[in-house]
Structure formats: structure tokens, C-alpha cells
Amino acid sequence: MNNSELINKAYEIAREQYTVIGVDSDAAISKMKDVNISLHCWQTDDVGGFETTGNELSGGIQATGNYPGKASTIAQVRADLDKVLSLLPGKQRLNLHAIYGDFSGEFVDRDQIEVKHFQSWIDWCKAQRIGMDFNATCFSHPRAADGFTLSSKNEENRKFWVEHVKRCRAISAEIGKQLGTPCVHNTWIPDGSKDTPIDRNGYRILLKKSLDEALKKKYPKEYMKDAVESKLFGIGFESMTVGSHDFYLGYAIKNDILICLDNGHFHPTEQVGDKISSVLQFVDEILLHVTRPIHWDSDHVVTLNEDVQLIASEIMRNDFLSRVNIGLDFFDASINRIGAYVTGTRAAMKAFLIAALEPTEQLIKLEEEGKYFERLAMLEELKTMPFGAVWDYYCLQEVVPVGTDYIEEIQKYENKVLSKR
Ligand code: RNT
Ligand code: ZN
């Protein structure tokens, strides 16, 4: 019996087992077509980008490790993304940072970027038939060296960053217009303080002022949507971040924009999965940065853990896919970057498929009847249901490597391409 026969057979049995608990596994698989994950370009090159100035990564984020094979040209990033896309089931999007522009070796400062610097990316996405999201890059720049950007008390610097965000939003609108799917533009700034600051309020007044200026121009929602991303602390920004969760949640609600929830940006016992149904009572949509925080690092490769599972389950339970834009945010330079990319993205996708295989209505019924032992027991039993057989079958249907097969594909890519860089 060849491998695909085995996969089909295992799926037939799994389907019956799911039917017994009232779950339609075929329907679960077909729901996956609405799970569109935005692939963060920055996993290919450790958040480097293609500015000619070669600015060091700053802003309290770090990509540790020195594994060979890092992309150092746009062509290499695209080749890597091609490889990643070929190893993932379903349909993804591209999430690009402003420093990844096609600057053709010329120095173009952040307050000078235009659509033309991103046209080749738009064309690339068009050819791939995928949507594209965008990010202002408010770090890794001399004007961010003192730790402040949009909240800077240096008026020249503050204006510079406002102009950058304005331009990024205009570029985003054009991206969405050309690709026929709205581009989510995310603003994250590192601004904050290593030690106890005095004027927290002063910086937050400035951040609000800058956002008001940068977001003043409105674009049609079919073209672009704004998101703002909070953070608890960064490396060297331990005592205060200007753009805290309270700040941005207030700003997003008041201005009818998206809040970006990065699950590496909260206290360790807070769960983003718990926040989704809270914030969606007050904002239309959210953006997620799915990641795995470990101690100081908010950006380890995603694995199939309980935090990610709760996020996916909350989205699927409530049919929130049309209101939740799913992005990833991890960067690991210590292992094969493409391997990290694919493993992390597949892990996130698995969480969504597991969520789609939940007998939610029955669980709610148990809950409403106060049958909490039964609810707990069901949740435990669900963990050992034959999910793997459904996942394999889904990958087989999508004509992408099944199970561990993608490991070999990545090893081949490493030997043929990455090791030659
Ligand atoms: C940093 C934020 C932010 C960045 C990317 C590169 O802590 O999470 O989203 O990781 O913009
Ligand atoms: Zn993030």
C-alpha cells in the first residue's frame, strides 16, 4: 500500500471517530480555506531589510543566532517565500515591512518612500495570487537611536516618523487597490524607557498627537485598514513602553481602527485567546501576531501550544475569521530559517484545524447545564482524537508534503540553495 492509500484509510477511520462525537471532519477541512495567514517576510533575513545604509536591528527586538543561509537580496527573499508557500496547505498572504522596499541600491530615507519602491512586491503578490499586508518600520534607524519615534520630544524626529507612517499608509492603500484585497497596515513603535521615567503622560500625549496626524487621511476600507500594536516591554525598554495595551486599545476603539494583539506582548499569565471576544465587542476587526514568548523574547517560532490553541479555538468557535486578520511574528536565526518558518506556520494552521474539529455546540450545552466534569473530560478526550489523520489528509488534498515529509524538502533546499549563499 502506498503512502496516500494509508493516509486515506487513516482518514476514513478518523472521520468515523469524529462523527461519533458529532463532528463533521469534511466540514472542518473546508473551513480551512478561510484561514489565511499573513507570512511575515522578516523571518527570511532576521528583520534586516534592503536599505542601503545597513542599519543595525534596534528597538528592543533581537534575532539571535547565526545559522547560514540568510536571505540577503530581494530575489533570495522571494525564492525563500516561494519555497515556504509550496510547503503550506491553504492560501496565505505576504506581510512586508517598509525596509524591504525595492530601492535598487539607492538611499531612500523612510520619509521618502513611495509606491514605486514596492511595485515589484505588489507584482510578485499578483503573480502568486496572494494578498499583501504592510508595516511602517519605526526602528533600526538613526532617528530612533534615542528610543523614541512617534512619541519623540525631538520635534524633527517626531515629524520624520509621522511622515514615514503617512507614506506607509498611502502605499498600503495602493497595495490593496491593486491586489483587490484590503492591505492591513500595522504600526508598532519601540518607544519607551529602560529606567523609571517621569513624564509618561507627556510621551503618551505626543504619541496620540502623532497618530492623529499620521492617520488623518482616510482611505477606503476595501483598500487598507489601520492597526496599532502594543507591547509590554522590550530589551532596553523595560520600565515603560509608551504604546501600552491600554493606550492602543483606547485609541483603536475611539478611532474605529484595528488593534493588533501580539501574544508575546503581555504578562506571561495573560492570554490573547481570552482577549479576542473582549475586544471584538468594541472594535470591528483585529490583527493578530501569532508567536511564542519565552522569557525576554517575544518572538520564538510558533509551536502547537495551549496559548495558540486558545487563540484559534476562540476564533473558530465564534466564526470570527472574517473579523480577525491572522499574522505571524517570529524570527529565529539559530536554525534553518525556512524550516523555522514552515514549522511555525504549519503549527498555527494545525491549531485552527483542531479548533474546527471541536464539537462546540455540545460543549456549550454541557456548560449551560452545569456539567463541568463532563466538559472537562470532553476537552481532555478531544486532545487524543485522531487529529493527525485529518491534518495529513488535508495536506494530501492540498498537494503539499504530508507529515514529516517537508523536513526532507527543506533539507534539499538547504543543500541546493541556502548553503550556497
Ligand atoms: C516587536 C513587534 C513587531 C515586530 C515586527 C518586526 O516586538 O512585535 O511587530 O516584531 O514589526
Ligand atoms: Zn508583533
Domain boundaries, the chain: 36-357
Catalytic, 289? Answer yes
Per-residue DSSP letter, 57: P
pLDDT of residue 364 exceeding 80: yes
C-alpha cell at 270: 495573560
- Dihedrals phi, psi of 330, to nearest 5 degrees: -140, 155
Catalytic, 307? Answer no
Please tell me the predicted confidence (pLDDT) of residue 54. 84
Query: How many whole angstroms from 328 Cα to the centroid of ligand 2?
Result: 8
C-alpha cell at 361: 455546540
Q: Quick check: helix, strand or coil at residue 271?
A: coil
Q: CB–CB of 131/76 below 8 Å? A: no
Could you give the CA distance from residue 352 to residue 34 in angstroms, rounded to a whole number? 10
Could you give the CA distance from residue 36 to residue 95 in angstroms, rounded to a whole number? 12
Reference 58, options 248, 234, 260; nearest CA is 234
Q: Quick check: helix, strand or coil at residue 325?
A: strand
pLDDT, tens digit (0-9, with 9 covering 90-100), for 125-179:
999 999 999 999 999 999 999 999 999 999 999 999 999 999 999 999 999 999 9
Please tell me the predicted confidence (pLDDT) of residue 1. 58
Question: Which residues share a beta bridge with 352?
Answer: none
Spell out which residues have Cβ within 5 A of ligand 2, the ion.
262, 289, 329
Q: Which residue has the cell 530612533?
A: 144
Alpha helices in 217-258 (DSSP H): 245-255
C-alpha cell at 312: 484559534
pLDDT, tens digit (0-9, with 9 covering 90-100), for 32-66:
999 999 999 999 999 999 999 988 999 999 999 99
Catalytic residue among 188, 191, 245, 391: 188
Could you give the CA distance from residue 133 to residue 98 in angstroms, rounded to a whole number? 11
Catalytic, 262? Answer yes
Q: Is the entire prediction scored with pTM above 0.95? A: yes
Reference 289, options 323, 321, 326, 322; nearest CA is 326
Residues having CB within 6 Å of any atom of ligand 1:
42, 47, 61, 135, 188, 229, 231, 262, 289, 298-299, 329
Could you give the CA distance from residue 151 to residue 203 in angstroms, rounded to a whole number? 5
Could you give the CA distance from residue 83 to residue 400 in angstroms, rounded to a whole number? 11
Could you give the CA distance from residue 209 to residue 4 in angstroms, rounded to a whole number? 59
Task: Outline where DSSP puts E strands in 221-356.
Answer: 224-229, 240-241, 258-262, 286-290, 292-294, 297-300, 324-328
Topology of domain 36-357 in CATH is: TIM Barrel (3.20.20)
Query: How many whole angstroms from 388 Cα to the centroid of ligand 1?
Result: 32
Atom of ligand 1 nearest to the CA of 47: 6
Give the torsion through C-alpha atoms of 64, 86, 229, 42, to 10 deg: 40
Could you give the CA distance from residue 170 to residue 115 in angstroms, rounded to a whole number? 8
C-alpha cell at 335: 536554525
Q: Which residue has the cell 463532528?
A: 23
Which residue owns the Cα nearest ligand 1 atom 7?
61
- Dihedrals phi, psi of 36, to nearest 5 degrees: -110, 110
Which residue owns the Cα nearest ligand 1 atom 6?
47
Q: Which residue has the cell 502547537?
A: 304
Query: How many whole angstroms from 310 Cα to the centroid of ligand 1?
Result: 21
Please tell me the predicted confidence (pLDDT) of residue 186. 99
Query: How many whole angstroms from 158 Cα to the centroid of ligand 2?
Result: 22
**Span 115-128, average pLDDT:** 98
Residue 182, CA distances (Å) to 38, 114, 134, 185 in order: 12, 18, 11, 9
Label residue 381 exposed, middle or buried (CB < 10 Å: 0-12, 13-18, 19+). Answer: exposed
Catalytic, 297? Answer yes
- Among all bound ligands, the one having the nearest atom to the CA of 261 is 2
pLDDT, tens digit (0-9, with 9 covering 90-100), for 335-346:
999 999 999 999
Query: How many whole angstroms from 315 Cα to the centroid of ligand 1?
Result: 22
Residue 164 CA neighbour count, 13 Å, CB half: 27
**Span 229-247, average pLDDT:** 97
Confidence of residue 73 (pLDDT cuts 50, 70, 90): very high
Atom of ligand 1 nearest to the CA of 137: 11
Which residue owns the Cα nearest ligand 1 atom 3?
188
DSSP 362-396: HHHHHHHTT-HHHHHHHHHHHTTSSHHHHHHHHHH
Mean pLDDT, rounded, of the chain: 97
Please tell me the predicted confidence (pLDDT) of residue 291. 98
- First-to-last alpha carbon distance for the chain, in angstroms, is 40
Listed as own residue / partner, the contacts of 407-413 with beta carbons closer than 8 Å and 24 or more positions apart are 407/339, 409/83, 409/87, 410/83, 410/87, 410/336, 410/338, 410/339, 410/342, 413/83, 413/338
pLDDT, tens digit (0-9, with 9 covering 90-100), for 178-221:
999 999 999 999 999 999 999 999 999 999 999 999 999 999 99
Looking at the chain, the whole-number percentage of residues with pLDDT higher than 70 is 100
Residue 87 CA neighbour count, 13 Å, CB half: 28
Looking at the chain, the whole-number percentage of residues with pLDDT higher than 90 is 99
Catalytic, 299? Answer yes
